[in-house]
Chains A and B, each alone.
Chain A
Amino acid sequence: MTKDESKKFAGLKALLAVLLAGSLAVFAGVAQAEWKLNLQEPVTDLARRIYDLHTFLTIFITIIFVGVFSVLGYSLVMHTRKRGHKAADFHDNTTVEIIWTLIPTVILIAIAFPATIALVNQRDTSKPDLTIKATGYQWKWGYEYMSGDATGIKFMSVLSTPRAQIENKEPKGDHYLLEVDNRLVVPVNKKVRILTTAADVIHNWSVPAFAVKTDAVPGFVRDGWFKAEKEGIYRGQCSELCGKDHGFMPVVVEVVSEAKYAEWVVAKQTEMLAAADDPNKVFTLDELVKRGEKVYATNCAGCHQPTGKGLPPAFPALDGSALVKGSKEGHIAIVLNGKSGTAMAAFGAQLNDADIASVVAYERNAWSNKLNDVIQPAEVKALRTK
């Protein structure tokens, strides 16, 4: 290398030193924060096995990496022209090739054993103590208890983080984006089988502490299981891109003692009974709009926006919409049945007649849509049977 070049390299080295110092400073600056370097703490036997398997694999690949790059490192230092090393002339050795093909093969076979055992265990969803169906919707989870005393309990579980926190207008809370209005409640030390399915697109029900991650495929039922050994609240997130609010549909599971679970079941059943509507009740417009506003905020505002302006063209405006201002029947039908090929879901299975009647009434009377329409649950019921 000429003198001129070495001068250039001096500059280069100085620049690199600055860069390195800079990145170290960044590391040091944030080093006070809490660093999570590993998998979440497991609370099921399966999650613990996987945790250990992962630890073993990580150590194993680190050893291989260090081994290979020590050999390379030695070459990079010793076998250089700078040191006056002259290139040897060898380029083939069948024995060596066979050895470094066979040894990794044997190692991989050895790894396959514990990996197989863990996997077989993971897929064994037989003989559950409790079965719960989780249905993915854009963008919330619906839960339905399928066995035991809780049979028939069903509810929606929606992100409860306030919009203002997401938009940075308020400081973020403790469980930002990982909190819901209704948690899934399960008893401790019971084998819970989760059936997953979806109503619109593929979602994924995932709780890392349980080592459960199962796709929720529309039209099909998949399953997973867990047996939590510790009471507490465990949080996960939808793990399959499902559209706009994929990042905003957490999974929150509360593991409680058996006694507490029994209490919760009774309380939930009472709550459901109280909330059940008399199908023949006649509402006033005011009652409808008030109730409809709440239903709208939970189910519709995500896409059609609180302002009714939507996010066209994917999510059309309802304010001034020809469909909303058209016939009642057409409006109710689309809420009940959805529109295929679009993100408009069929709410017939999610909402009862009174909810649908009130949300339709709300939409027909909110914003600039002052139609003064009253819609009774009976009208919705009539359309359902059609």
Chain B
Amino acid sequence: MQASHDAHAAHHDHAHDDHGHHGRAPGLMGWFTTTNHKDIGTMYLWFSFIMFLVGGAMSLVIRGELFAPGLQYVSPEFYNQMLTLHALIMVFGAIMPAFVGFANWMIPMMIGAPDMAFARMNNWSFWLLPPAGTLLVASLFVPGGAAGTGWTLYPPLAVQMGMGMDMAIFAVHILGMSSIMGSINIITTILNMRAPGMPLMRMPMFCWTWLVTAFLLIASMPILAGAVTMLLTDRHFGTSFFNAAGGGDPVLFQHIFWFFGHPEVYIIALPAFGVVSHVIPAFSRKHLFGYTSMVYAIAAIGLISFFVWAHHMYVTGIPLTGQLYFMYATLLIAVPTGVKVFNWVTTMWRGELTFETPMLFALGFLFLFTVGGLTGLVLAITAVDIQLQDTYYVVAHFHYVMVAGALFSAYAGAYYWLPKWTGFMYDEALGKLHFWTSIVFFNVAFFPQHFLGLAGMPRRIPDYATQFADFNVISSIGAFGFGFSQLIFLWVVLKNIKGGETAPAKPWDGATGLEWTLPSPAPYHTFEDAPVIKDEHLAAAH
């Protein structure tokens, strides 16, 4: 995305800018040393897309093996490693960095700030990621292979694993550090660097979602780090946190893990909500409906997300009162989530809709995320969850929420802001093809998994009873179709970097916000002097 950037930036320098800035240092070293939020945002986005392809390839190994009953291509041990790395890479390597990439690129441009608050720390936050990603992938090649525990890393199984497990633990530590630093940066930037005249309650919704997300990250990542550290000492230093024989409790790990793990779901979902809250109004030519209640809903979701963790643990033997409490709390979280969906729908009501690729992905998000949210309601009911826990119903549910909720929203954002990043319009026909193949194949892949789960097919098994064969065939076909459809996006982006129709400063007539007052592509340095905020730049009309 940055390739064409230098030329434009240079051009821009001559045209508008007399500060005499130079950009990034030349060559590869420039990327290592850059402290520019746009460079770092670009690197985050490319890193996440590469990890997305790696994690995607792993999911195709899984779906390939599940194409037919019997063991075909991989051993059960390797299968377990694939499902573990697929999840870890997708969650920590693909989806989270993607939204940090959006945050880096867009937050300073949205609030009229020249860069992120801590530019050097920003560089370090990013450059921690490649080593962590390498550790995860490289763990496949050490004796014993990668962790085969699922991304939840439950002991005592995790204690049995080889050194691949230690590499995963180390990777999680590094990723956690990166996230915490990124969060500190985002919070400081949003709270302190908004241009004069932009109150919190009128700043862009994407900034609000990230503000809440960053607090969730700061509160939850250290908990995960603690959990995996205890795991590490149980493995190597003779402690018994999770070993009953030494006075510990294996279920304790699950409580700690999910105290991180449930907020994590919203860490992924909230920035996705933010992106969609920009795209839907832009292509409806209307203001976001109920800005204030959206902000409250985000805050409520963020807060409640810390009090529902044990709904992942209904069958672990937590007491009845615990089950009841966690069921009620989980039902409660459906309320603000519902409010958000109603608000988006009302935003479109009586608008002037057009359906460019970003809007299509935002609609796809809304459609699929609602399916995932509603099956979440079914899973929240403890008695029913007993039948569905650890079956493919859960796999279907969280892919509707994660892939649809986060990935589709990331695509909506990428298509929406690509012209601002590269200075060219992307190929609309290819973008639409990408959307339609993605949404069709996604449903072919994951909808049948609801039926598999209801019929009782457990998750995380490399082979299954013959009555599950038919839906698995369909699911695998869908997964391969979905996987290869993502290469269309790579094609779109590469083509877009090379050139295309020149993008105007504001390619979308319904878009609002400061980022669209800048030329396309955005110059290397922007808003060195705070912009004068006018009413139309602000979110939440009054």
Contacts and interface: CB of A to CB of B under 8 A. Distances in A.
B370 A54 contact: no
B128 interface: no
Contact of B292 (A50, A57, A92, A100): A92
A54 B316 CA distance: 21
B351 to A, nearest CB: 5
Given A9-B432, A168-B70, A243 B351 contact: no
A372 to B, nearest CB: 33
A160 to B, nearest CB: 14
A219 B244 contact: yes
A218 B464 contact: no
Contacts of B390: 204, 206, 213, 239-240
Nearest to A88: B350
A155 to B, nearest CB: 23
A200 B436 CA distance: 47
Given A90-B289, A112-B327, A64 B374 contact: yes
B456 to A, nearest CB: 4
B349 A75 contact: yes
Interface string B70-94: 1110011100100000000000000
- Residue among A38, A76, A242, A314 facing the most chain B CB atoms (10 A cut-off): A314
B76 A85 contact: no
A61 B375 contact: yes
Nearest to B381: A115
A81 B68 CA distance: 47
Interface in A172-200: 172, 175-178, 200
Interface stretch (B19-27, B38-46, B147-155, B220-228): B147-155
B154 A57 contact: no
A30 B378 contact: no
Nearest to A178: B465
A243 B157 contact: yes
A134 B429 CA distance: 59
Contact of B384 (A53, A175, A246, A341): A53
Contacts of B429: 5, 8-9, 11-12
A248 interface: yes
B50 interface: no
Interface in A62-119: 64-65, 68-69, 71-72, 75-76, 79-82, 85-93, 96-97, 100-101, 104-105, 108, 111-112, 115-116, 118-119
A374 to B, nearest CB: 33
A87 B386 contact: no
A101 B77 contact: no
A238 B458 contact: yes
Contact of A79 (B235, B350, B382): B350
A334 to B, nearest CB: 16
Interface string A1-42: 000010011011001100110010011001001111111100
Contacts of A15: 433
A241 B384 contact: no
Contacts of B143: 312-313
Interface stretch (B2-10, B245-253, B265-273, B402-410): B245-253
Contact of A30 (B342, B349, B354, B474): B474
Contacts of A5: 428-429
Nearest to B160: A343
B437 interface: yes
Contacts of B293: 97
Interface of A, helix, strand, loop or mixed by DSSP? mixed
Contacts of B69: 172, 176-177
Contacts of A72: 345, 348, 366
- Residue among A61, A120, A211 facing the most chain B CB atoms (10 A cut-off): A61
Given A167-B71, A215-B317, A85 B444 contact: no
A244 interface: yes
A371 interface: no
Given A69-B367, A75-B345, A243-B80, A91 B541 contact: yes
B444 A239 contact: no
B324 A119 contact: yes
B493 interface: no
Interface in B467-500: 467, 469-471, 473-474, 477
A68 B353 contact: no
Contacts of A297: none
B64 interface: no
Contacts of A50: 383-384, 386-387
Given A27-B474, A97-B293, A314-B162, A213 B349 contact: no
A215 B351 CA distance: 51
B285 interface: yes
Interface stretch (B200-208, B333-341, B513-521, B529-537): B333-341
B299 interface: no
B157 A115 contact: no
A90 B440 CA distance: 34
A248 to B, nearest CB: 7
A122 interface: yes
Contacts of A233: none
Contacts of A23: 440, 444, 477
B130 interface: no
Contacts of B389: 213, 239
Given A239-B390, A311-B77, A20 B149 contact: no
A87 B331 contact: no
B335 A105 contact: yes
Interface in B443-466: 444, 451, 454-456, 458, 460-466
B502 interface: no
B323 A241 contact: no
B290 A93 contact: yes
A384 interface: no
Nearest to B286: A87
B73 to A, nearest CB: 11
B188 interface: no
Given A65-B370, A237-B461, A247-B462, A211 B437 contact: no
B320 interface: yes
Contact of B351 (A37, A75, A112, A236): A75
A243 B148 contact: yes
A92 B289 contact: yes
A123 B346 contact: no
A222 interface: yes
A113 B350 CA distance: 38
Given A53-B383, A80-B354, A81-B352, A119 B148 contact: no
A244 B76 contact: yes
Given A19-B437, A219-B250, A246 B331 contact: no
Contacts of B371: 65
A288 interface: no
A101 B339 contact: yes
Nearest to A208: B456
Top 3 A-B residue pairs of the complex, sorted by shortest distance between their CB atoms: A219-B244, A247-B461, A222-B317
Given A104-B334, A123-B323, 16 more contacts: A12-B436, A15-B433, A36-B454, A36-B455, A49-B383, A61-B377, A71-B349, A88-B350, A100-B339, A101-B339, A119-B382, A166-B70, A166-B463, A218-B156, A222-B316, A343-B160
18 contacts: A5-B428, A16-B433, A38-B455, A39-B455, A75-B350, A76-B363, A87-B286, A91-B286, A93-B289, A96-B290, A108-B331, A108-B335, A115-B382, A166-B463, A168-B70, A177-B463, A214-B317, A247-B76
Interface of A: 5, 8-9, 11-12, 15-16, 19-20, 23, 26-27, 30, 33-40, 47, 49-50, 53-54, 57-58, 61, 64-65, 68-69, 71-72, 75-76, 79-82, 85-93, 96-97, 100-101, 104-105, 108, 111-112, 115-116, 118-123, 165-168, 172, 175-178, 200-202, 204, 206, 208, 211-215, 217-220, 222-223, 236-248, 311-314, 340-343
